Amino acid sequence: MANRKEKIIYSNKMAIIQVLGALASDPLLLGDDRYRFSVNDFPEDFHRYVFKAIVGIALQSDDGEIDITKIDPIDVDNWLKNYPEWYHVFVSNDGANWLRRAIEAYDPGKFHYHYNTLKKYSLLNAMQRAGMDTTDFLDPSLVDPNEIMKKQEAFDAM
């Protein structure tokens, strides 16, 4: 294992788009026992705030159960207005349009794949935060395309 001092942040943008698009399209996934979601699954503030808004909206029913069937970008926009710093990040990233496109891109048939990908990257980030060297799994310092592909294929197969 390489000894690295700089912090590596791992993410897969397509997995993030698909999972957040899925949760907005079908908030009942939040209560599905097959899946466990955490704000730490999302390494960027923008995605964390979208996730927090979706969860906050989904849990606002009278009995605390998730019974809402869809969350629109305007719902997220309105919810985040209560948190000025978060809302600024959301607006600065054209959040309503981003979420609209994520909802449109969401493919239910590929949700499980994207969920697993998100969780793999989330685990790498958790290992990184715990001080573990993660470059045996993915190494951003590699420059040889064949080595990069081998590492990525091995990671994807995990």
What's the pLDDT score for residue 3?
A: 47
Distance in Å from the first CA to the final CA of the chain: 18
- Residues whose CB falls within 8 Å of the CB of residue 32, separated by 6 or more in sequence, listed in order: none
> In whole angstroms, what is the distance from residue 41 CA to residue 23 CA?
13
> In whole angstroms, what is the distance from residue 41 CA to residue 122 CA?
5
More confident residue, 48 or 4: 48
DSSP 56: H
What percentage of residues in the chain have a pLDDT greater than 90?
63
DSSP character string of 8-67:
P----HHHHHHHHHHHHH-GGGGG-TT----GGG--SHHHHHHHHHHHHHHT-STTS---
pLDDT tens readout for residues 35-55: 999 999 999 999 999 999 999
> In whole angstroms, what is the distance from residue 29 CA to residue 56 CA?
14
The alpha carbon torsion through 12, 18, 23, 29 (nearest 10 deg) reads -90
- Using pLDDT thresholds of 50, 70 and 90, give the confidence band for residue 146: confident
Which pTM was predicted?
0.85
Q: How many CB atoms lie under 10 A from the CB of residue 77?
A: 16
Q: How many CB atoms lie under 10 A from the CB of residue 34?
A: 7
What's the pLDDT score for residue 48?
A: 98
